Amino acid sequence: MTASAAGTKLTLRLPDDFHHHVRDGPKTAAVLKFASQRFGRCLMMPNTKPPIVSTELAIQYKQHITKAMPEGCTMEPIMTLYLTDNTSPEEIQKAHKEFGKYVACKYYPAGATTNSDAGVTDVKNLYPVIEEMQKVGMMLCIHSEVTHGDIFEREPAFLEEIMKPLVAKFPNLKITMEHISTKEAVDYVLASSDNMKASITCHHLLYNRNNLLVGGIRPHLYCLPILKAEKHRLALVEAATSGSNKFFLGTDSAPHSTDTKEAACGCAGVFTAHAAVELYAEAFDEAGKLEHLEAFCSSNGADHYGLPRNTKTITLEKKSWTVPSSFDFGDGKSVTPLRAGEEVLWSLV
């Protein structure tokens, strides 16, 4: 392991998170306080209950998020529309007119992950919508997994069955493959045009499926896409830390109450907002590539989304701290964070 000396400080342009879940109701304020300390902007996921399927609902959700932010917070929410089989091209026009570059659309294959039952059953149902998105320059964010076959092979299958035909039909569409988790996805993104880029989570950089399963199931590491074999984790680390502008920060921080994770049928999602940038620093430090951390966290994503880079900065220090065992979830329940009761090696100053 290549590591920087303890006490080293690192100042970065303020990062953005292009994949973040803040849920709804009182839970939003409970989890927003962590993101607001670390990010200039967050792309807000729309798989709430009910999902954000229209411009009107996106306006309401943005208002809710803004009201839930800590006093003095300047973090900007970027909204997403939840695509369904019934989304219309007119809705895309309406959203683009309302939000401009501060909007994207999220494609969940129906049943692929949390609150995705209302998602898309056949990508061809979306072709008129995607054509309009391509026309106005709107980003398509994709949960890139099919819903059939071996759970460890669903991302590569999506590339063949959905992604390649989609890109061939809409070559000018701006696409983010979110939370990629396999070497196949890394290779595909690297071979694609500049319209196609990918976000990578800190938990997919730091953990593999052994961490999830060996010695007993660890429900707070259960996510979708599921953690993969070590060869895939290493491919993700190489991609993220390489300096390539094809990859950027997207935490997919996805809080669930502890009781719904530690259940007979536990839900998918890893809560990382409390230490996200610090955990990315761990991964880059271990790879000996801290010099590429700022571009990955603070430039590549903003450039891909056509947004100005942040001008503020944050400072990290190579100083370990112990993560609390739980945090308040705002609804009378608790949420268990990644590394609960364990150390994180970098701190936010």
What pLDDT score does 4 carry? 78
DSSP secondary structure string for all residues of 131-183 = HHHHHHTPEEEE----SSS-GGGHHHHHIIIIIHHHHHH-TT--EEETT--SH
What Å distances lie between residue 179 and 20, 78, 175, 234, 343, CA to CA?
A: 11, 18, 13, 15, 24
Q: Which of 252, 259, 285, 328 is catalytic?
A: 252
Tell me how far the alpha carbon of residue 131 is from its chain's centroid. 24
Nearest Cα residue to 301 out of 223, 346, 255, 240: 240
What pLDDT score does 118 carry? 84
Residues 6+ apart with CB under 8 A from 258: 326, 333, 334, 335, 336
Amino acid symbol at 12:
L
What pLDDT score does 116 carry? 79
Alpha-carbon distance of 45 to 35, in angstroms, equals 14
Alpha-carbon distance of 226 to 224, in angstroms, equals 4
Encode 87-115: b = buried (16+ Cβ within 10 Å), e = exposed. beeebbebbbeebeebbbbbbbbeebbbb
Quick one: tokens of 270? 């890893």
CA dihedral 165, 166, 172, 176 (to 10 degrees): -120
Amino acid symbol at 191:
A
What pLDDT score does 221 carry? 98
pLDDT digits (tens, 9 = 90+) for 231-289: 999 999 999 999 999 999 999 999 999 999 999 999 999 999 999 999 999 999 999 99
Low pLDDT (below 70) residues in the chain = 1-3
What pLDDT score does 173 carry? 98
Quick one: tokens of 19? 């994949």
Tell me how far the alpha carbon of residue 42 is from its chain's centroid. 9
Amino acid symbol at 199:
S
Integer-rounded Cα Rg, in Å, for the chain is 19
Alpha-carbon distance of 237 to 131, in angstroms, equals 34
Residues 6+ apart with CB under 8 A from 135: none
Residues 6+ apart with CB under 8 A from 124: none
Whether 252 is catalytic is yes
H-only helix segments in 229-294:
230-241, 258-261, 276-286, 293-294
Amino acid symbol at 278:
E
What pLDDT score does 3 carry? 55
Alpha-carbon distance of 299 to 310, in angstroms, equals 8
Half-sphere exposure of 179 (CA within 13 A, CB side): 25
Helix/strand/coil percent split, the chain, to 5: 40, 20, 45
